[in-house]
C-alpha cells in the first residue's frame, strides 16, 4: 500500500486527480484499503468511520488558499451541536464575497462576508458568524442548542448574548435574523448538552415553569450530594437525561443508583429521560413532568 501514500509517506488525505497523476488506477482508488471521507478524496485506511482529524485533512485537500469552511461544516469543526438529520450533509466551503465559489459534487459553495479563524490549521468562519449562517439550515430549537453551546464557559468559543446580538448588526438584511434573535432570547447559560436544551424547551413549550440548568444539590449540612441537569429546586424536582453511558457503563450505573438514593433521601423527585422517551415526549415525558409539578410543594 506504500505506493498509495502521499509523497512524504504519511497517511494524509489526497484527491483523486492527484492520485491518478501519480499513476494510481481507478480500481486501486476503489480498493478496500482506502476510505472516501469526501467525494473525490481518499485516505489510506480500512475503518469506514473517519476521525475528525482525517475529515479536516480531507477538506483541506480540496480548499484553495482563500476559501474557508462555513455553515454546518464550520459548526462541526468548532464542536457545535448539530442535529442528526444533517449528519450526511454536503461540505460547506465559502470564499470571500469577491472570491471564487467552488462548484463540485458533495460541496456547497458560498460567497460570504465572514471573519475567518484557524482551527487545527484549517480556515473556518468565526463561531459567531457560523451561528448567523446556521439560521438558513436549522430550526429555532436547533439554533437555541447552538446558542446554549456558545454560552458554555468551558468552550473555547465561549461567548455572551450581548456579543451574539452585536454580531447580528454586521449582517443587516441577512436571512434568518428574526429567528436568531428569538434563539438568543431563549438561550440559557449553564446548559451542557443539546439534550438538556431539548428537555428545557420541551417542558416550557408545554406551559410549565422553566427549570434551572445544572443545579448543585447539597444536604442540610452543606455537603455536596449531586448535580442535576434541570431542576425546580423549590419543589425538589429534577429532570435528568440519561445517555447510553448510564446504561452501558457498570460503574456509572452503580454511581447513578447511589446518587438517586441520596437525592431521594433529601426528598427529591427525579424524572429520568432517555432517547427512547424523547421519540414520543407528549406521551412518555410531559405527563410525568406535569404529575411531579402538580404534586410538588415548595420546600
Residue 12: predicted pLDDT: 75
Distances (CA, A) of 132 to 66, 72, 196: 21, 11, 22
DSSP code of 195? H
Indicate the pLDDT class of residue 196, thresholds 50, 70 and 90.
Answer: very high
Is residue 2 over pLDDT 50?
no
Is residue 299 over pLDDT 60?
no
Share of the chain above pLDDT 90, in %: 53
Q: Which residue has the higher pLDDT, 141 or 13?
A: 141
Is residue 216 over pLDDT 70?
yes
Alpha carbon distance 145, 198 (integer Å): 8
CATH 3.40.960.10 residue ranges for the chain: 194-295
User: Cell triple for residue 104?
Assistant: 463540485
- Lowest-confidence range among 9-18, 133-142, 252-261? 9-18
- The CATH number assigned to the domain with range 194-295 reads 3.40.960.10
Side-chain half-sphere CA neighbours of 234 within 13 A: 6
Q: Tens digit of pLDDT for each residue in 136-157?
A: 999 999 999 999 999 998 888 8
Indicate the pLDDT class of residue 36, thresholds 50, 70 and 90.
Answer: confident
Q: Tens digit of pLDDT for each residue in 83-131?
A: 989 988 888 999 987 777 777 777 888 899 899 999 877 889 999 999 9
Alpha carbon distance 139, 142 (integer Å): 5
Read off the pLDDT of each residue in 152-174 and give the average, rounded to a whole number.
Answer: 91
Indicate the pLDDT class of residue 296, thresholds 50, 70 and 90.
Answer: low
Residue 207: predicted pLDDT: 96
φ, ψ (nearest 5 deg) of residue 202: -65, -50
Q: Which residue has the higher pLDDT, 294 or 295?
A: 294
Amino acid at each position: 500500500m506504500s505506493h498509495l501514500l502521499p509523497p512524504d509517506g504519511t497517511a494524509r488525505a489526497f484527491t483523486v486527480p492527484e492520485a491518478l497523476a501519480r499513476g494510481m488506477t481507478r480500481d486501486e482508488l476503489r480498493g478496500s484499503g482506502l476510505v472516501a471521507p469526501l467525494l473525490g478524496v481518499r485516505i489510506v485506511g480500512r475503518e469506514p468511520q473517519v476521525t475528525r482529524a482525517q475529515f479536516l485533512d480531507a477538506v483541506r485537500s480540496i480548499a484553495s488558499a482563500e476559501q474557508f469552511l462555513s455553515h454546518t461544516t464550520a459548526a462541526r469543526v468548532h464542536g457545535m451541536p448539530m442535529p442528526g438529520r444533517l449528519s450526511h450533509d454536503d461540505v460547506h466551503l465559502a470564499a470571500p464575497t469577491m472570491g471564487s465559489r467552488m462548484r463540485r459534487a458533495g460541496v456547497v459553495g458560498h460567497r460570504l462576508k465572514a471573519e475567518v479563524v484557524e482551527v487545527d490549521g484549517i480556515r473556518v468562519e468565526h463561531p459567531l458568524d457560523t451561528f448567523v449562517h446556521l439560521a438558513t439550515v436549522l430550526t429555532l430549537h436547533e439554533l437555541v442548542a447552538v446558542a446554549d453551546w456558545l454560552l458554555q464557559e468551558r468552550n473555547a468559543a465561549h461567548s455572551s448574548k450581548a456579543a451574539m446580538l452585536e454580531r447580528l448588526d454586521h449582517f443587516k438584511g441577512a436571512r434568518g435574523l428574526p429567528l436568531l434573535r428569538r434563539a438568543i432570547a431563549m438561550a440559557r447559560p449553564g446548559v451542557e448538552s443539546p439534550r438538556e436544551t431539548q428537555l428545557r424547551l420541551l417542558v416550557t413549550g408545554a406551559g410549565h415553569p422553566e427549570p434551572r440548568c445544572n443545579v448543585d444539590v447539597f444536604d442540610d449540612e452543606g455537603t455536596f450530594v449531586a448535580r442535576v441537569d434541570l431542576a425546580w429546586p423549590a419543589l425538589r424536582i429534577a429532570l435528568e437525561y440519561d445517555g447510553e453511558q448510564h446504561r452501558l457503563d457498570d460503574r456509572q450505573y452503580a454511581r447513578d443508583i447511589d446518587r438517586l438514593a441520596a437525592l431521594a433521601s433529601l426528598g427529591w423527585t427525579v424524572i429520568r429521560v432517555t432517547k427512547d422517551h424523547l421519540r414520543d415526549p407528549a406521551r412518555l415525558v410531559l405527563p410525568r413532568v406535569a404529575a411531579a409539578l402538580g404534586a410538588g410543594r415548595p420546600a
